[in-house]
Amino acid sequence: MKHIDEYRDGAVALVLAEKIARAARAERQYKLMEFCGGHTHAISRYGIADLLPANVDMIHGPGCPVCVLPVGRIDNAIELAAQQPLTLCTYADTLRVPASKRLSLMQAKARGADIRMVYSVADALKMAQEHPARETVFFAIGFETTTPATALAIRAAERLQLANFSVFCNHVLTPPAMAEILGAPQVPGTVGIDGVVGPGHVSCVIGSRPYEQVAEDYRRPVVIAGFEPLDLMQAVLMLVRQLNLNRHEVENEYTRAVTREGNTKAQELMAEVFELRDSFEWRGLGEIARSAYRIKPKYRRFDAERRYGIAYRQAADHKACECGAILRGAKKPRDCRVFGSGCTPENPLGACMVSSEGACAAHYSYGRFRLPTECVV
Ligand code: SF4
> Residue 374: is its pLDDT beyond 50?
no
CA of 119 from ligand 1 middle (Å) equals 26
Average pLDDT rounded to a whole number, residues 275-297: 97
Q: Give the tens place of pLDDT for each residue, 174-202.
A: 999 999 999 875 555 556 899 999 999 99
Query: What angle (nearest 5°) sits at the alpha carbon of residue 329, between those of residues 325 and 331?
Result: 55
Atom of ligand 1 nearest to the CA of 350: 7
Distance in Å, CA 343 to ligand 1 centroid: 6
3-class secondary structure per residue, 128-169: HHHCCCCEEEEEEEECCCCHHHHHHHHHHHHHCCCCCEEEEE
- Sheet of strand 195-198, all strands in order from the earlier edge strand to the far edge: 56-63, 30-36, 195-198, 222-224, 250-252
Mean pLDDT for the stretch of residues 71-96? 97
Q: What single-letter DSSP state applies at residue 372?
A: P
CA-to-CA distance for 103 and 72, rounded, in angstroms?
12
pLDDT higher than threshold 50 for residue 362: yes
Q: What is the mean pLDDT of residues 108-121?
A: 97
Please state the φ and ψ torsions of residue 151, each to the nearest 5 degrees: -60, -45
Exposed e or buried b per residue across 132-151, where buried means at least 16 C-beta atoms within 10 angstroms of its C-beta = eeebbbbbbbbbbbbbbbbb
- CB of 269 closer than 6 angstroms to any ligand 1 atom: no
Task: Give tens-digit pLDDT for 121-150.
Answer: 999 999 999 999 999 999 999 999 999 999
Q: Can you tell me the mean pLDDT for 89-115?
A: 96
Query: Does ligand 1 have an atom closer than 6 angstroms to the CB of 326?
Result: yes
Distance of CA 67 from the midpoint of ligand 1 (Å): 11
Distance, CA 186 to ligand 1 centroid (Å)?
Answer: 25
Please report the DSSP string for 269-321 in residue order. HHHHHEEE-SEEEETTTEEEET-BEEE-GGGGGGBHHHHTT------PPPTT-
**Res 4: pLDDT:** 83
Of 85, 77, 66, nearest to 107 by C-alpha is: 77
The model's pTM is 0.93
Q: Are 81 and 115 a contacting pair, CB within 8 Å? A: yes
Ligand 1 in reach of 333 Cβ (< 6 A): yes
Instruction: Answer whether residue 44 shows pLDDT above 60.
Output: yes
Report CA(226)–ligand 1 centroid distance (Å).
Answer: 27
Does residue 377 carry a pLDDT above 90? no
- Ligand 1, closest atom to CA 343? 2
CA atoms of 248 and 165, how far apart (whole Å): 45
Q: Look at residue 376 and tell me whether its pLDDT is greater than 80.
A: no
Give the residue from 165, 81, 91 showing the smallest Cα distance to 131: 165
The reported pLDDT for the residue numbered 192 is 86
Position 2 scores a pLDDT of 76
Q: What is the 3-state secondary structure (H, E, C) of 189-253?
A: CCCCCCEEEECHHHHHHHCCCHHHHHHHHHCCCEEECCCCHHHHHHHHHHHHHHHHCCCCCEEEC
> Whose Cα sits closest to atom 6 in ligand 1?
360
Look over the chain and give the mean of its residue pLDDT values, rounded to a whole number. Answer: 94
* Residues 68/323, Cβ–Cβ less than 8 Å: no
Element housing 171 (H / E): strand 165-171
